[in-house]
Amino acid sequence: MTRSCLGIGVAALLLTAITGCGMVRSMGKDPSGAELTKLEALPNFKDGSFENLAERSDSTIRHNLIFHHRPKTIRPSHELPWVKTDLNALPDPAPTIVWFGHSSLLIKTGEGNILIDPIFSNHAGPVPGLITAFPGTKHYHAADMPPIDVLIISHDHYDHLDYRTLIKLKDRIKMAVVPMGVGSDLVYWGFDPKKIIELNWSQSTTLPGGLQITATPAQHRSNRSYSKENKTLWASYVIQAGKYKLFYSGDSGYGPHFKQIGQQYGPFDLALLECGQYSPNWPWTHLWLGQTAQAAVDLQAHLLQPVHWAKFVEADHPWNEPIEKLMPAAAKLNVQVNVPRIGEPYTLGDPPKQKVWWDFE
């Protein structure tokens, strides 16, 4: 296996070999016909696929993720602490953020409810049981979500675009904002095309409630099958909710795009930045130790909240290493960090949540 993350992963490789991609509904559908023609006219879609701003190659694989010996602490030894919150009763004078582990987030604002990269099926990938959620992260479900004014998807990897979650939420989502090409998956799964907005980098949309969402660059890749890579776009997002400005990184390696986004759209009240699932097998598609804090500085963020950790094993590092290494790196750069427990609401303007709940190994 030479590719990172859950765009295909071990589970999809096995499933592809057994049944073929076209037989598995959760694997989605790549753009075709008029949709593909539209993508082919875009400046960042070349020779049949999307490109990063700075193309790089992954290093040679160092070990096989199936058979390689992993540290015992790759999964937590106890259930992660969590908070049960009534998601229909969140305050909204200022944005309130609820994190469900990994990159799944609900943001309540005066302009509407935002749901980002939700995955509530307790596993990642098309095959249940292979990449399972940590204990303590399984207490929230699609049925717990309030009405969703906008669903935001960063890219089509299985740990961000979850079929089983979205088909349960479909009728409660007013609008979906996705990167170019990802709408094909949603339409295939029964979403109304009129309720899908596809954005290329630097494109914006303003929703009826007043939320303004801008897609910005990220350094990553896309794929839901082994043979088809980068047929859809990946993105980060700038979210303007009244006087508040938030940034969500999606999945992204470090690069000059963070500073460019900060200069063009910052400063930000909060940056939700990936922190975890890094590996020498995919050295440029995820933020490494220390880079999350530096990205927050580049973005001119007043507050950093790490995401993309504490739910799934997708790399070989100890499960809590990302946060343990982030805290001193952020302190060195004078970056304020907010680390709520699973399901614990945080309202912008309140003191950051910094209780050390992850140190029990």
**pLDDT tens-place values along the chain, 361 residues long:** 334 445 544 444 444 433 443 337 999 999 999 999 999 999 999 999 999 998 665 544 554 544 455 677 999 999 999 999 999 999 988 999 999 999 999 999 999 999 999 999 999 988 888 899 999 999 999 999 999 999 999 999 999 999 999 999 999 999 999 999 999 999 999 999 999 999 999 999 999 999 999 999 999 999 998 778 999 999 999 999 999 999 999 999 999 999 999 999 999 999 999 999 999 989 999 999 899 999 999 999 999 999 999 999 999 999 999 999 999 999 999 999 999 999 999 999 999 999 999 997 6
Amino acid at 128: P
State how far the Cα of 96 lies from the Cα of 233, in Å rounded to an integer. 28
For 244, the token pair is 């508040």
* CB environment 26-35: b (16+ within 10 A), e (fewer): bbbbbbeeeb
CATH number of the domain to which 84 belongs? 3.60.15.10
Confirm whether 270 is domain-assigned. yes
Within a domain: 53: no
> Is position 57 within any domain?
no
| 3-class secondary structure, 98 | strand
How high is the pLDDT of residue 260?
98
Exposed/middle/buried for 227, CB within 10 Å: 0-12, 13-18, 19+?
Answer: exposed
Residues 6+ apart with CB under 8 A from 331: none
Count other C-beta atoms under 10 Å from residue 304's C-beta. 27
Give dist(CA 175, CA 76) in Å, integer.
36
The pLDDT, as a whole number, for residue 82 is 98
Whether 63 is covered by a domain: the verdict is no
Amino acid 6: pLDDT? 55
pTM: 0.92
Q: Is residue 38 part of a domain?
A: yes
Question: What pLDDT is attached to residue 58?
Answer: 54
Q: Could you give the residue ranges of the DSSP H alpha helices within the chain?
A: 9-19, 33-40, 163-169, 183-188, 257-265, 291-299, 321-332
Q: How many domains does the chain have?
A: 1
Residue 60 domain-assigned (yes or no): no
> Per the domain annotation, does 334 fall within a domain?
yes
Structural domain span for residue 213: 5-48+70-347
Residue at 353 is within a domain: no
